[in-house]
Structure 1
Amino acid sequence: MMLIFRLMLLLQTAACLDNVCWFGQSDPCYAALGEKLNLPMVQNTRKYYLKIIKRINDNTQDDRVCRVKNGRMRMSECDLYKNRPEVTVINGFLIIKRVIRADSGDYRLTLTDSDGTETSRDLQVIVEAPIGSVNVSIICSSSGVMRVSCSSEGDQLLYNWTLNGGPLMDGNSSIDLDERTDGDISCSVKNHVSHTQKTIRLVCPTVSVVFVLVWCLQLMLLFGLLGAFHIYMRHTSGKKEEDEKVRMRRFRERHEHTAEDS
């Protein structure tokens, strides 16, 4: 019966492309942050009294529990998913429609049948942020080294480089090449929940000759304006001083004539 249940689940998963993990699997369950996670529990939930436990290992607080009876979550007895309407139980599946960081942890599913027989299955869930867009940049140094760097958002990123389809070294977010290296370089970034890559042409960034000429002309124009302004200010200042001398001379002459008349 369990084999049939697993086969039906595999067919559903292939059609819907949802992430599915099993209570009792030996490997960790990696879930994408913000995405959907399906956790099949048992084919017929009405035959069992289910209890989902999130185990707390630091002994500072009690384990959080959610009870399922007659195929339904008992929200009054579900502090594990309190105030999370996006978590439901449907047809024996625990469905988390939008995974959050707090969903990471160690879980135990306990099944109790009508005879009181109890079995349990454990599962470790690890939540990772999926990879965002990949950016690849090139910096060429005067020593003849071309450094290609790759960056992206996400958790636990692993990098892989290929040049013209051939493998290069793995693991680092940047790689140094000879500036004469030619071709297409690809940076592939992956983690446990997603995979993205970007390919660019290996070309050392160069400064445009037109840009340099325009920049030089702008500087020449700026210096010319500053020089003209400086000359204007000196001329204006000199004219003011000359006018002041003329006024002072005329004032003294008037004062001398007045003294002679008296």
Structure 2
Amino acid sequence: MEAVVGLILLLLRVSQGVETYCDGRQDRAQCYGALGGTVDVQLMTSALVLARYWWNENRTVILDGIKTRIMSNLLEDRSSFTPSNGTFRITNLSRNDSGEYQLEAIDLDGNIERRTLHLTIQAPVGSVLLLSECLSEGQMRASCSSEGGDSPQYSWTLDGHTLTHAELLSGNNETNSITLKQHVSGRLLCSVRNQVSRVSREETITDCDRSLLICGVRAAVGVLLLICITAYFAWKKANSNKTEGSAVAGTREHPENSVLMVEL
């Protein structure tokens, strides 16, 4: 339960201050907003040239206005509309804000225009974890995972350039796990993004063959040290048993001197 609460708090901290922009002047526009963040939707170039306009969602009137006069705003506690540039700003976005919206506008000549846009609210990517491990034949496997974030997309670079087939053994630049060929080294960077956020993590990787050699030497030294310690304790135990055996044998050969031997 504590982990879930911590994740929610992290996502809220990440999403706070995330602002996105959407140009809704084109019909069927696709817009995105960050969960807990702010989105600026430009509904029109200016409301000053319109006689009347309505912005609806599922037949519910969100905004109703006449030129610069706002007749009603269903989201007035967390939104604002600027008639001069036709921008509707919504803050503290929630999942419920996702949906299809329709704009109906009547210009000064009586012409009617209708447009729709779809707004999708996504949780931004919180953080990125990059893990790498050397394989037995000198290759390196790298995996990238993100905390939170809806519909994450992955990309990889090495020393600032996109990974090539000469460097990749398996996977590609759009998967979260890749395997690099032998002798590949440099600054490996994984980026995770969606429509409202982008987070990266970088790690300097070295030649796996050299790393495996170092690990092998360390392992050999450890094994040798373990053998020496085991041999020492075995030798010590053998000497102890030999001493105890000599003492018992002396007692049996000269029982009359056993008390004297103990005293000595």
TM range (shorter): 0.5 to 0.7
**Structure 1 residue corresponding to 2:79, chosen from 83, 87, 108:** 87
Match of 1:232 in 2: none
Label 1:67 to 1:132 Cα distance change in 2 as closer, same or farther (>3 A). closer
Contact 2:49–2:108 under 8 Å retained in 1: no
Instruction: Give yes or no for contact 1:73–1:88 (8 Å, CA) kept in 2.
Output: no
Per the TM alignment, residue 194 of structure 1 is displaced from its structure 2 partner at its CA by 2.3
Q: Which runs of at least 4 in structure 1 moved beyond 4 Å after TM superposition?
A: 113-117, 203-210
Aligned residue identity for 1:39: V
**Where does residue 257 of structure 1 map in the other structure?**
none
How far residue 112 of structure 1 moved from its aligned partner, in angstroms, is 3.1
The 5-angstrom pairing of residues 43-192 of structure 1 reads 43-44=46-47, 47-55=50-58, 63-70=59-66, 71-72=69-70, 74-75=72-73, 78=74, 81=75, 85-91=77-83, 92-113=86-107, 117-153=111-147, 154-168=149-163, 169-178=172-181, 180-192=183-195
- How many residues of Structure 1 are paired with residues of Structure 2 in the alignment? 187
Distance in 2, matches of 1:107 and 1:19, equals: 17
Deviation, structure 1 residue 41 = 3.0
Q: Which segments of 5 or more consecutive residues in structure 2 lack a partner in the other structure?
A: 1-17, 164-171, 234-264
Letter paired with 1:36: T
Alpha-carbon RMSD across the aligned residues, in angstroms, is 3.4
Kept in 2, the 8 Å contact 1:159–1:188? The answer is: yes
Equivalent pair of 1:163/1:186 in contact (CA under 8 Å): yes
179-188 vs 95-104, greater mean Cα deviation: 179-188
The letter for the 2-side match of 1:31 is G
Q: Indicate conservation of the 8 Å contact 2:125/2:193, yes or no.
A: yes
Q: Deviation at 1:65?
A: 2.2
CA contact (8 A) 2:50 2:105 kept: no
- How much does 1:50 deviate? 2.1
Secondary structure of the residue that 1:134 maps to in structure 2? strand
Q: 1:72 Cα shift? A: 1.9
Percent sequence identity over aligned pairs:
31
Amino acid at match of 1:155: D
Partner Cα distance (1:94, 1:182) in 2:
49
Q: 1:181 to 1:24 in 2, by over 3 A?
A: same
Separation (CA, whole Å) in 1 of partners of 2:159 and 2:97: 41
Instruction: Give the Cα separation in 2 of the matches to 1:190 and 1:136.
Output: 14
Output one character per residue of 1:99-136: Cα deviation in whole Å (capped at 9) or x when no partner.
22222221111113567543212112122222222221
1:22 aligns with 2:23: yes
If the length of structure 1 is used for normalisation, what is the TM-score?
A: 0.59
